[in-house]
Amino acid sequence: AGGAYVPVDPTYPEERVQYIFTDSAAAVVLTTADVESGLAEFSADPVTAADRAGTLRADSAAYVIYTSGSTGKPKGVVVPHRGPRNLLRSHRHYTMDRAADRALRVLNTYSFSFDSSIGPLMWMLDGNELHALGRDAALDAPAVVEYVREHRIDYIDAVPVLMEQYVELGLLDAGAHRPGRLAVGGEAVPERFWSRLHAESELVAFNLYGPTEASVDSGFAVVADAPEPTIGRPTHGGRLYVLDPLLLPCGPGQAGELYIGGPQLARGYHERLGLTAQRFVADPFGDGQRLYRTGDLVRWRADGQLEFIGRADDQVKIRG
């Protein structure tokens, strides 16, 4: 339809919701009856094709996701259509598949205001079956394990802290239905849990790394390929650089800041030109290209995979 969507979790505090509505200048709201009462300022007039502002292109905004940020005010990350398009290509190459005689059943545990929810949505484009849990339901680990068994889920995607709870409660136990593959992302994977997944010879497990500013996933690792935690290698079409403060490449084993390049980069932050210029910098290795400064400290390992060390500013990133 040509519009960009701005997902807003209805469980957010009212002040945050109003800030997002105001900052994004949202023109249309899709909601449910129980939430509608708090949105009186929006008109109920229908929206038609005549309201489209312009021709839809690859660099047109697809969505704006507000991340918590470190300054107290959420910032809207504007992602163009080429970002999720590149994500789809990556998932088709690395994670997406179909059984011989049926579609796979995919379970999404993320809030739709969190960009990691976009990955599971992609599976539907290839005819797979998506099961979406609400935020509260995903936190009920025993119920999630039971849901996986009852609905015979093939693939589940969750943050490591939740996935570890699911596994501890029997998600991968023999004798009951268990998913054949799973993915974790959104935060660092504890070494003990990585080892647990690595030991599962019949499980295909992935670690997906990436900030909202780079369209969900920028690093991809197969847990079976590495005995220790890693964020892997670049996803389809992307570039990962480990650079020192002078933007010079760091050698193997040398810690540096991770920079991301490629078609998955966001346009920047909505109405935040100064912050956009700080985080999206000129690519010293490509004519007219940009890199995103992640603020993450990493290093290249001898096996050619990236190891996450921590935040360069010692701050914990929450939801992007």
Is 8 within a domain? no
DSSP code of 187?
S
Q: Does a structural domain hold residue 3?
A: no
Query: 215-230: b or e for each residue (b if 16 or more CB lie within 10 Å)?
Result: bbbbbbbbbeebeebb
pLDDT digits (tens, 9 = 90+) for 30-65: 877 666 666 656 666 666 666 666 778 889 999 999
Give a yes or no: residue 318 inside a domain: no
Beta-carbon contacts of residue 53 (< 8 Å; ≥ 6 apart): 2
- Confirm whether 106 is domain-assigned: yes
Q: Which amino acid is at 252?
A: P
How much is the pLDDT for 182? 96
pLDDT of residue 24: 93
Range of the domain at 184: 14-311
Q: What was the pLDDT predicted at 11?
A: 86
Residue 135 covered by a domain: yes
CATH number assigned to the domain comprising residue 90: 3.40.50.12780
Amino acid type, 287: D
The total number of residues shown for the chain amounts to: 320
pLDDT of residue 53: 65
**Residue 319, domain member (yes or no):** no
**Kind of pairing between the strands at 105-108 and 280-282:** unpaired
- Whether 5 is covered by a domain: the verdict is no
- Residue 165 inside a domain? The answer is yes
pLDDT tens-place string over residues 112-147: 999 999 999 999 999 999 999 977 899 999 999 999
Ranges of residues in the chain with a pLDDT under 50 are 315-320
Record the pTM: 0.90
Q: How many domains does the chain have?
A: 1
Are the C-beta atoms of 63 and 83 separated by less than 8 Å? no
pLDDT value of position 41: 63
For residues 19 and 15, what is the distance between their CA atoms, to the nearest angstrom? 6
